[in-house]
């Protein structure tokens, strides 16, 4: 019977001795142990399994397979008796999170009639999904306050095995499917719920509940929270992050936001002046390049310039001199990229240039009669590519 399991007879049982029923290998070749009775909680009801040791051998996983509790162990026990020791820190943390979830869920129902449709107990944070699309900051604050009131009242958390007939006396938060064994977990006058998880003996042991964030999940709202020792962990972590930020910004904690706003403002104006400086520089570059034109052709080779930068420069060149043809090539790693553009008063076909260039570099490119761009492999030096482009434009 479920109710005879050690983890239900005494949820605070941390060590126990049991006869070993059998030891076998599972489908993955890992040893598992079946005990006559166990205080190890198997994964279920949103609560992760316990860990610990059996005869000093680590218990890696605990699962309920057809009513039998399998303890996956790091190696074979080879014993008829096992002494079980739970990792109590892990288990008690799970008890705090689980009871905290009951309290939080019940507070959402009590104050706003928001129902919880699922619960996740993660390694660092827990979450519940509420069947509503939107929860306001005020609602979250009220629920958090109510949940912490229930904790502070230190109400005994009662557990009771009941029959179907007895079940009718209780107004349950969620309807239960009837099974032979129903376990009620009750916080009198606040929450009555069917649950097979483990919980502390009173609400006070949850210590506190903190809602940390919400997230939209289609038509539901996910509420992330932490209970018990995890609240302190979160505080430590956030404190450390804030401390570092405060140090880097040379600002007091309360001034961090202002300091960031100021920093972002400075950054934006720096970006703007940098952009202006680039533009000025580019206009000088255009002038310098136009001076080098021979037979109306301006050509230049660059290293590490993007195709966008080449395009911009080419546009400025042909705008600066309408008779000019701009032939630009950039060597970028093992790639060669090019742009060819003509001024409004030139009639040379840029498409023709693409045609003569692409086979030499196994490249791809496109554009129109007045402006083309492309790129390919660096099979030849950039200078050579420029010569091909120049010859093509002189011959067309």
**Residues in touch with Zn ion (CB under 5 A):** 98, 195, 197
Distance of closest approach, residue 45 Cβ to Zn ion, in angstroms: 7
Distance of closest approach, residue 51 Cβ to Zn ion, in angstroms: 20
Distance of closest approach, residue 210 Cβ to Zn ion, in angstroms: 19
Q: Which residue lies nearest Zn ion, judged by its C-beta?
A: 195
Distance of closest approach, residue 174 Cβ to Zn ion, in angstroms: 11
Distance of closest approach, residue 333 Cβ to Zn ion, in angstroms: 59
Of the two residues 174 and 287, which places its CB atom closer to Zn ion in the complex? Answer: 174
Rg, the chain, Cα only:
36
Distance of closest approach, residue 23 Cβ to Zn ion, in angstroms: 31
Of the two residues 105 and 373, which places its CB atom closer to Zn ion in the complex? Answer: 105
Whole-angstrom distance, CA of residue 363 vs CA of residue 378: 10
Taken in order 228, 171, 39, 68, the sign of the CA dihedral is negative
Cβ count within 10 A of residue 28: 7
Q: What is the DSSP letter of 202?
A: B
Of the two residues 197 and 382, which places its CB atom closer to Zn ion in the complex? Answer: 197
Of the two residues 193 and 396, which places its CB atom closer to Zn ion in the complex? Answer: 193
- Count Cα neighbours of 42 within 13 Å in the Cβ-side half-sphere: 19
Name the H helices within the chain.
6-9, 88-112, 137-152, 164-167, 229-249, 256-291, 307-320, 350-361, 382-395
Percent of the chain that is helix, strand, coil (3-state, to 5): 40, 30, 30
Are 126 and 226 a contacting pair, CB within 8 Å? yes
Of the two residues 103 and 353, which places its CB atom closer to Zn ion in the complex? Answer: 103
Of the two residues 156 and 265, which places its CB atom closer to Zn ion in the complex? Answer: 156
Of the two residues 52 and 194, which places its CB atom closer to Zn ion in the complex? Answer: 194
Whole-angstrom distance, CA of residue 50 vs CA of residue 197: 11
Report residue 230: phi and psi, to 5°.
-70, -25
Distance of closest approach, residue 47 Cβ to Zn ion, in angstroms: 7
């Amino acid at each position: 019977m479920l109710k005879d399991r050690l983890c239900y007879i005494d949820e605070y049982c941390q060590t126990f001795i049991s006869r070993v029923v059998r030891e076998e290998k599972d489908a993955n070749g890992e040893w598992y142990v079946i005990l006559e009775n166990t205080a190890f909680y198997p994964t279920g009801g949103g609560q992760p399994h316990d860990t610990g040791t059996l005869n000093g051998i680590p218990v890696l996983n605990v699962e309920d397979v057809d009513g039998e509790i399998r303890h996956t162990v790091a190696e074979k026990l080879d014993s008829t008796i096992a002494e079980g020791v739970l990792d109590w820190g892990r288990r008690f943390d799970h008890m705090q999170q689980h009871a905290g979830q009951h309290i939080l869920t019940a507070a959402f129902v009590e104050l706003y009639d928001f129902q919880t449709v699922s619960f996740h107990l993660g390694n660092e944070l827990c979450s519940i999904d509420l069947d509503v699309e939107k929860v306001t900051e005020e609602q979250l604050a009220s629920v958090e306050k109510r949940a912490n009131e229930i904790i502070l009242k230190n109400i005994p958390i009662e557990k009771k095995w009941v029959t179907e007939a007895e079940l009718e006396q209780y107004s349950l938060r969620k309807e239960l499917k009837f099974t032979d064994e129903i376990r009620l977990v009750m916080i009198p006058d606040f929450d009555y719920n069917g649950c097979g998880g483990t919980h502390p003996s009173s609400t006070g042991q949850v210590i506190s509940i903190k809602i940390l964030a919400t997230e939209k999940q289609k038509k539901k709202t996910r509420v992330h929270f932490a209970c018990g020792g995890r609240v302190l962990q979160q505080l430590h972590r956030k404190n450390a992050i804030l401390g570092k930020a405060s140090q880097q910004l040379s600002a007091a904690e309360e001034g961090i936001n202002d300091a960031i706003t100021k920093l972002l403002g400075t950054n934006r104006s720096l970006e703007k002046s940098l952009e202006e400086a680039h533009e000025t520089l580019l206009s000088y570059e255009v002038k310098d390049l136009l001076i080098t034109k021979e037979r109306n052709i301006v050509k230049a080779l660059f290293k590490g310039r993007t195709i966008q930068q080449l395009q911009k420069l080419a546009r400025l060149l042909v705008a600066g001199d309408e008779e000019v043809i701009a032939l630009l090539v950039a060597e970028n790693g093992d790639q060669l990229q090019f742009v060819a553009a003509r001024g409004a008063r030139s009639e040379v076909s840029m498409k023709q240039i693409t045609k003569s260039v692409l086979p030499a570099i196994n490249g791809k490119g496109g554009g129109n009669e007045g402006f083309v761009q492309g790129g390919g492999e660096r099979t030849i030096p950039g200078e050579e590519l420029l010569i091909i482009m120049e010859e093509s434009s002189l011959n067309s």
